[in-house]
Structures are given as C-alpha cells and as structure tokens.
C-alpha cells in the first residue's frame, strides 16, 4: 500500500497494490498492521458505514464534535465521487482549508480523514456506493455540519448547484 500525505496535515491518500489478470482483479482493501505503519499511528476502526447515492447527491459536510470525533477511511465500491474534507482543528496549520479529490471504483484510492475534519461527497457517476470505516461510534448529539456552499471555503463542486440533490439538513446554512 502506498500512503501519500495530502496538503492537509494528517490526511492521506492510500493506493493499494492491485493484481489484475484475465479473470479480473484482487487487492487487499484493508490490513490493520500495514495501515497503521503507513500512517505512523495506531487507528482502531469500530464502525463501518455504506451509502448508495444517485448522480448529483451531495452528502455533507458532516462531522462529529468533541470526544465523539471520528477518523474515517473512505473508499468507493462502485462509481465516482468528489470527496471533500475540511480541517476544523483550530491548532492545525491547515485549519479552515479543504481538499477535494475524486475517488472511484476504478483507481481504488482511499482517503484517510483524521479526527477533527468535516467530510462530504458528491456523486459524479449515475450512482455510487461509498464505504467508510470510522474509529468512533456515531453520536447524534455530537453531530455538526457545514453548509456545502460556505462562502469562506469556496469549494468548486463538479456539478452545477441547480442539479444537486440534498437532504433537508444539508440544504440549510447553519452559519458554523
């Protein structure tokens, strides 16, 4: 597995070694020992989540506050997404900065998102199945979100805002 730190401190792009032949492909999507060695820290995932979304669905930007913060390992099982993370760690040199990357089922790249980040994604293909591991349990009372079109972030979403499909929660600006 190749691990490359992004411009956001502690956030990594992971690329597995994929073995292909005439039958198809095989790769190890997660190996705890190799994962922790690549990141240089111990991460213990306790919850797996999966979502299915059609084209134009934007989920996010979500985060868990305080002791309920979650690190995530995000991958795409089918389709293509624009994955976006925002560094919310006040003491971080990249506080308030964001990263946008395409994850898809072809390149098999994964994104490690450390605790203290907001996370969201936009479905670019006709549909996408997204799978992510979390190192802490979800807690509704600790939930927070940032408006996808926050004027301070200036995120360049890859689909026109008139074509986005949003939940009621994600379509409101909380002013955070």
User: Any idea which residues carry the catalytic annotation?
Assistant: 62, 132
Rounded-to-integer distance, Cα 56 and Cα 116, Å? 26
Pairing assessment for the beta strands 72-78 and 110-113 based on DSSP bridges: antiparallel
- The answer to whether 147 touches 173, Cβ cutoff 8 Å, is yes
Reading the block at residue 164, the tokens are: 């986005």
CB atoms within 10 A of CB 81: 27
| Cis bond before residue 61 (omega within 30° of 0) | yes
Q: Which residues contact 32 (CB under 8 A, 6 or more apart)?
A: none
Three-class secondary structure of residue 172 per DSSP = coil
Q: Measured in whole angstroms, how far is the alpha carbon of residue 87 from the centre of its chain?
A: 12
CB atoms within 10 A of CB 29: 14
């Amino acid at each position: 597995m190749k691990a490359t730190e992004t411009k956001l401190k502690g956030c990594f792009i992971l690329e597995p070694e994929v073995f292909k032949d005439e039958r198809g492909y095989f790769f190890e999507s997660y190996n705890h020992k190799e994962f922790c060695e690549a990141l240089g820290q111990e991460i213990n995932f306790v919850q797996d989540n999966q979502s299915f979304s059609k084209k134009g669905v934007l989920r996010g930007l979500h985060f868990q506050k305080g002791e309920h913060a979650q690190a995530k390992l995000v991958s795409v099982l089918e389709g293509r997404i624009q994955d976006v993370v925002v560094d919310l760690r006040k003491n971080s040199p990249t506080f308030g900065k964001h990263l946008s990357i395409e994850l898809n089922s072809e390149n098999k790249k994964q994104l490690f998102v450390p605790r203290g980040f907001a996370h969201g994604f936009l479905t670019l293909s006709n549909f996408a199945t997204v799978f992510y591991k979390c190192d802490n349990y979800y807690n509704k009372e600790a939930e927070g979100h940032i408006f996808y079109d926050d004027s301070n972030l200036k995120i360049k979403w890859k689909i026109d805002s008139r074509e986005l499909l949003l939940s009621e929660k994600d379509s409101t600006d909380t002013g955070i």
